Amino acid sequence: MLLVVKTLFIVVGTCVVDRFGRRALLLTSMGGMFISLTALGTSLTIINRNPGQTIKWAIGLSVTTVMSFVATFSIGAGPVTWVYCSEIFPVRLRAQGASLGVMLNRLMSGIIGMTFLSLAKGLTIGGAFLLFAGVAAAAWVFFFTFLPETRGVALEEMESLFGSYSANKKNNVISTGKEVVDEQ
């Protein structure tokens, strides 16, 4: 069932990204992830504090919030971050920027995967998900504050949205590829 939800919402996100825009989908996704993780952390904390008891509503809420987390991640944060990452870098740095984005994504996924059990042991499993909810809230604030909408903006015009990458002094590059620095 989880795979069906994920696939369905990736298709939905892909189909509506140009209609609603990248920023709107990222903000909606992060908001939904925050709500889902907060509810999941809370329900797991309730289950954890009542050992030996079967609290059916908390178990049902946990399953439901995992599904809603996957759905909201798949509609925005999953696919849109790759689109955004491929658009924001200037043409001359696009390959390096996309590579850096993939590397950081894999690195953070690995760190989360390797530290989850320690977090769950140290904070409780509910506390670990509440910590992730805090990260989702911080990501929402970051996206809201720093990421402009890129829908409809030509790739060549992205530098005007994000500023240009340049050194303190402009360098002249001659046809051999070597730099010649203006002496002033």
Domain residue extents for the chain: 2-181
Q: Could you tell me if 26 and 143 are in contact, meaning their C-beta atoms sit under 8 angstroms apart?
A: yes
Q: Which range, 93-97, 174-178, 180-184, has the best average confidence (pLDDT)?
A: 93-97
Whole-structure pTM value: 0.82
Tens of pLDDT, residue by residue over 28-76, are: 999 999 999 999 999 999 999 998 898 999 999 999 999 999 999 999 9
> Sorting pLDDT into bands at 50, 70 and 90, what band is 171?
very low
Both tokens of 9, joined, read 């919402």
Q: 147 — phi, psi (to 5°)?
A: -100, 115
Tell me yes or no: is domain 2-181 CATH 3.30.300.30: no
Average pLDDT for 153-170: 62
